[in-house]
Amino acid sequence: MVAVPTARKRILFLTPQLPFPPEQGTALRNYNLIAQVARRHDVALLSFGEPSADPGPLAQLCHPLCLVPAPRRTLRRRLWDLLRSRRPDMALRLASPAYADALRSLLRQESFDLIQVEGLEMAPYAELVRGWLGPRAPKMILDAHNAEYLLQRRALETDLRLPARWPAALYSWIQCRRLRAFERAACRRADGLVAVSEADAQALKALDDTLRPLVVPNGVDLERYHPGLPDSLPLHHPAVVFTGKMDFRPNVDAALWFYRRCWPLVRRAVPEAHFYVVGKQPHPRLASLRADPSVTLTGYVPDILPYFGGADVYVAPLRMGGGTRLKILEAMAAGLPLVSTTLGAEGIALIPGEHALLADTPAQMAEAVITLLRDGARARVLGMAARRFVELHYSWEKIAPRLEALYAAAGCSPAAPI
């Protein structure tokens, strides 16, 4: 969709975490959207985060910028909510009287044309604003980072294959059923709906065929991620790299599946290969990887770029999840040869064999990795084609202006304060 020139608006972003530093999916998307939108509009931010946290450049981009500590839910509380409530866990995850009070106070003091709600877990706060202001409420835009019911359905289908994962599958079955109703209602209430991929847009329309999501995909910082990043770490080569927040269920599943099913085949063909799993908070399910000398489980790293600089192949063996994977765009921007599952590359209009190799069975994925480890020329050609692809389609400067179509449709008169 072509960007529509829009009169300058006052826009309040509601985010589930402080979008700085932009180190993982939600924060990366929120930070870059805010940075781009602030070039054309007046932006305010109300976010979960420690009040003492450094907001970095957001301090200059957002006026005001308000932070509220995130609520803490114990496992006992989550189990209790699972039993007593019909709402999905995502609707309760960030329930916070302090955040609600801060939002109401902000709406008393300021007038806004739009409130942009970042992620389904923030949708209950849009409900609160509607309840407080009724027809006087600002227009609401819901940026759906995932089709959440679909994410849970895919997790269910994956976990059902292993009896040890059946408790997790039961959880996903319950959540999927509850999410469909909650997600449908949240999307219907929004004055504008954003999806991160055409696949997600179709999944949201499957909830209600009257929904018309605008696709605003994830992007990548082309200056930060670029070919020729320095190999400043003493990595073992050839290095196969996977990155992500390693307590996130799809990432845990991806790392375990690749290690158990694909890695032995890779090592048999390339005995010197080394697998790097890079990301904070490794889940206990990954503990067995530490005992293998051919694997490094890094935990938190202050800078991920050296691992991109040292990678010989980047893998994205994802079997569950949704949206557009920022990790894949980052690897492609860095000119890395990429091997991904079809699901991992979902929502990115790459051409298999030209921009990346796609593989969905252990044998296929291992073969693709082995091919690129053995054929450096093929790997370089693939990586450079990937870089050119993201330059053309996935820079934030080209992506964020798509939101102007929704902003233009929101009208010009700001809602009065409470």
Please write the tens of the pLDDT for every residue from 137-146.
999 999 999 9
Q: What SS3 class is residue 46?
A: strand
Segment among 2-11, 77-86, 322-331, 398-407 with least mean pLDDT = 2-11
Instruction: Identify the band that residue 386 occupies on the pLDDT scale cut at 50, 70 and 90.
Output: very high
In the chain, CATH 3.40.50.2000 sits at 10-219+397-409, 239-394
Segment among 8-17, 154-163, 327-336, 380-389 with least mean pLDDT = 154-163
Q: Treating both helix axes as pointing N-terminal to C-terminal, what angle do 166-189 and 148-159 enclose, rounded to 10 degrees?
A: 170
> Checking DSSP bridges between strand 114-118 and strand 139-144, what pairing results, if any?
parallel
Segment among 61-65, 393-397, 409-413 with least mean pLDDT = 409-413
209: left (phi over 0), alpha (psi -120 to 50) or beta: alpha
Q: How many CB atoms lie within 10 A of CB 343?
A: 22
Strand partners, 276: 241, 296
Q: Is residue 86 classed exposed, middle or buried when 0-12, 13-18 and 19+ CB atoms within 10 A define those classes?
A: exposed
Domain covering 239-394 in this structure, CATH number = 3.40.50.2000
Q: pLDDT per residue over 234-258, tens digit each?
A: 999 999 999 999 999 999 999 999 9
Span 23-42, average pLDDT: 93
| Rounded-to-integer distance, Cα 399 and Cα 378, Å | 30
Contact present, 268 and 341 (Cβ < 8 Å): no
Tokens 């018309």 identify what position? 212
Classified by CATH at the fold level, domain 10-219+397-409 comes out as Rossmann fold (3.40.50)
| Rounded-to-integer distance, Cα 228 and Cα 187, Å | 42
Contact present, 148 and 156 (Cβ < 8 Å): no
The predicted structure's pLDDT at residue 417:
54
Strand partners, 193: 142
| Rounded-to-integer distance, Cα 179 and Cα 341, Å | 26
Q: Which residues contact 111 (CB under 8 A, 6 or more apart)?
A: 10, 414, 415, 416, 417
The predicted structure's pLDDT at residue 418:
57
